[in-house]
Homo-oligomer: A and B are copies of this chain.
Amino acid sequence: MGLSIVKPHVKPQPLQSGSLSFASTKMTAMSNQSCPHNQAMSCGDCRMKSLCLPLALEIEDVEKLDKIVQRGRPFQKDEYIYRSGDKFHSIFAVRSGAIKAFTADDEGVEQVTGFYLPGEVFGMDGIAHTDHISSAVSLETSSVCEIPFHRLEELSITLPSLQRHFFKLMSQEITNDQHLATLLSKNSADERVATLLISISARNAKRNLSEQRFRLPMSRADIGNYMGLTVETVSRVFSRFQKQQLLQVDKKEIEILDMDGLKELANI
């Protein structure tokens, strides 16, 4: 899910040796990896593998996982990956684009439960139920890997490191959600928005993108919904941040001018 502001001392990002060293290498333009929406890409070749794959997996294990992963055509903006009420049978990993997960209460009022960026896994809340209890839509053209859950369960039995990895992924989702709850219960509008921006910035950095300049894939309404604020409040916070020289905002384009100031606001 969303807010993963990893505190320094917890940060377990051991730049893995061996198999996935090429995460930082430059792609050649004509390589079949050049298009992030490419359906044919395998797990072993995926730029995101260091984010969504268990670091411990051997090459042949990655191939086994690869065999059960399904890659469909990209989703267009506003297309559903799954809907609340659909039968649950898969979890998903974002390969490109951005995904919004949300629930709807009895009156149909939407509640955004998370934004997922490339390398992140979503749909795990469906595991406890036979049906999905949330929906997921694409916020922009996105490609996702679909991982049939029963296949994953089977494979986890023969690949202990995969089992461990998925336990960890789910645990991470739990702590993320708890962070969100903490944020909502304790922090002001300014702090919430600052935290979201820092989170997105940090997640961009993990993908070797700029942490200063990026484009928000979601609307102000989505941000407000997620952070427990109204659109108006979100808009005001952006204006205020701009006035305080913390940000440069142009619609969805964000430039963080004062990272330290923003982090201070977000209590990092």
Contacts and interface: CB of A to CB of B under 8 A. Distances in A.
Contact of A181 (B127, B131, B157, B180): B180
A129 interface: yes
A41 B172 CA distance: 32
A173 B175 contact: no
A107 to B, nearest CB: 8
Main SS of the interface on chain A?
Answer: helix
A264 to B, nearest CB: 11
Contacts of A175: 125, 128-129, 133
A65 B133 CA distance: 30
Interface string A1-43: 0000000001010000000000000000000000000000000
Interface residues of A, number: 47
**Which 8 pairs of residues, A with B, have the shortest CB-CB distance?**
A185-B228, A127-B171, A177-B177, A128-B171, A184-B184, A128-B172, A170-B170, A111-B182
Interface of A: 10, 12, 103, 105-106, 109, 111, 113, 124-131, 133-134, 153, 156-157, 160, 163-164, 166-175, 177-178, 180-182, 184-186, 225-228, 267
